[in-house]
A and B are shown apart, each in its own frame.
Chain A
Amino acid sequence: MIRKELVAASAEPLILSLLAKGESYGYAIIQEVKARSDGKLNWTDGMLYPVLHRMEHRGLIKARWAESETGRKRKYYSLKKDGKTAMAKHHEQWSLVHSVLAGLKKEQYV
């Protein structure tokens, strides 16, 4: 089980990276994160929406209401220019953390 602090910290970069592939809506975002992490990154579904709304307020993403192919109304989110910049920054920072950790792990086996 991944610690909730790490789950919370990774929410924004994951959402930004998912939206970089194209617009999506809350339920689909959660399902995709779950599938990509083999169910290990399991968000409390309702907690996604405050994160999405905060990112919308910060101008990282934008939203529009539209009808799905089944006729259900959905709020679709997509990336804005500032969101792309924020995503690049997140990738840079998480890559740094990852490379430091990987380097330290490698040293343990030398």
Chain B
Amino acid sequence: MFDLEQSIADWRTQMLAAGIKTPVPLEELEIHLREEIERRTKLELSEQEIFNSAVQKIGRAHMIQNEFKKVEATQEYRNWKLVENLFAVVTSLLSLLLCGMVIFKMGSFSEATSGQQTSSLVGIGAFALLAWGGRLSFRIFPVIRARQIRDAICISGGVLLMLWWMAFVHIILPRHDFTTGQLLVTILWVMIAPCGIFLGLSWGIEAAAQKKVAMTGS
């Protein structure tokens, strides 16, 4: 004996297994299925035939899911563009702020010699170049489609950077007697420039993946 409600429940399970999300859009699709079944009840067909033809008309679960994946990819790309713009503004502003402090000898930089100023500016330049270099040369980065792997690489990079900073502050720095100017130059080269490597690496990997998503997803 054909049980319509059980068949709809089985269809829902198939949709869920294919990756269709609940409540939306699965609920919307189920409402559509029920409307189609209702319309077809006027035809002289058995309940099972009506259900089968309505299911066929709505389409295969994996095909629908593939289309939804494209929508999600487009949305993810839009979010990424916002994050990327924020990234660009922050790295640019940070570089400009540091350059301004060095050039106009603001704060602790007032004690820096002209040689230390030049070295500081080169250090800031290295930071900006490394960060932006990752973004600009994203084509040389491998395309990592799995977000979890990209996140794992970024987090690992962040942890390594933190460990390096901690080692520098707690182990290396106490063994040297720096003047204020020397200390600032050292911080710029040893702490800020590696930060550029981390940002560039993360930016490049994400940009490579997102460009690929944009090309195939839309």
Convert A37-73 into 0s and 1s, putting 1 for each residue whose CB lies closer than 8 angstroms to a CB of B.
Answer: 0000000111101110110010000000000000011
Smallest beta-carbon distance B175→chain A, Å: 55
Residue of B25, B35, B59 with most chain A CB atoms under a 10 A cut-off: B35
Does B71 contact A46, Cβ atoms closer than 8 Å? no
Nearest neighbor of B15 in chain A, beta-carbon distance? A46
**Is B47 part of the contact surface with A, judged by Cβ < 8 Å?**
no
**Is A27 part of the contact surface with B, judged by Cβ < 8 Å?**
yes
**Is A26 part of the contact surface with B, judged by Cβ < 8 Å?**
yes
CB under 8 Å from chain B, chain A span 4-60: 26-27, 44-47, 49-51, 53-54, 57
4 pairs of A and B residues whose beta carbons are closest in the complex: A50-B67, A46-B59, A46-B64, A44-B59
When distances are taken between beta carbons in the complex, the residues of chain B under 8 Å from A49 are 25, 28-29, 32, 64, 68
Beyond A46-B29, A57-B74, 12 additional contacts (C-beta under 8 Å) are A44-B58, A44-B59, A45-B57, A45-B58, A46-B58, A46-B59, A46-B63, A46-B64, A47-B67, A50-B25, A73-B27, A75-B31
**Is A74 part of the contact surface with B, judged by Cβ < 8 Å?**
yes
Convert B47-87 into 0s and 1s, putting 1 for each residue whose CB lies closer than 8 angstroms to a CB of A.
Answer: 00000000001111001100110110011001000000000
Q: How large is the interface on A (under 10, 10 to 19, 20 to 34, 35 or more residues)?
A: 10 to 19
Give chain A's interface residues, CB within 8 Å of chain B.
26-27, 44-47, 49-51, 53-54, 57, 72-75
Smallest beta-carbon distance A45→chain B, Å: 5
Q: Interface of chain B, helix or strand or loop or mixed? A: helix
How far, in whole Å, are A44 and B78 apart by their CA atoms in the complex?
Answer: 28
25 A-B pairs in the complex with CB atoms less than 8 angstroms apart: A26-B31, A27-B31, A27-B36, A44-B59, A44-B63, A45-B36, A45-B57, A45-B58, A46-B60, A46-B64, A47-B67, A49-B28, A49-B29, A50-B25, A50-B64, A51-B67, A53-B25, A54-B70, A54-B74, A57-B78, A72-B31, A72-B35, A75-B24, A75-B28, A75-B31
Smallest beta-carbon distance A34→chain B, Å: 11
Q: How large is the interface on B (under 10, 10 to 19, 20 to 34, 35 or more residues)?
A: 20 to 34
When distances are taken between beta carbons in the complex, the residues of chain B under 8 Å from A26 are 28, 31-32
CB under 8 Å from chain A, chain B span 6-25: 24-25
Please judge, given known A-B contacts A44-B63, A45-B57, A45-B59, whether A53 and B68 are in contact too, CB under 8 Å.
yes
Give chain B's interface residues, CB within 8 Å of chain A.
24-25, 27-29, 31-32, 34-36, 57-60, 63-64, 67-68, 70-71, 74-75, 78
When distances are taken between beta carbons in the complex, the residues of chain A under 8 Å from B78 are 57
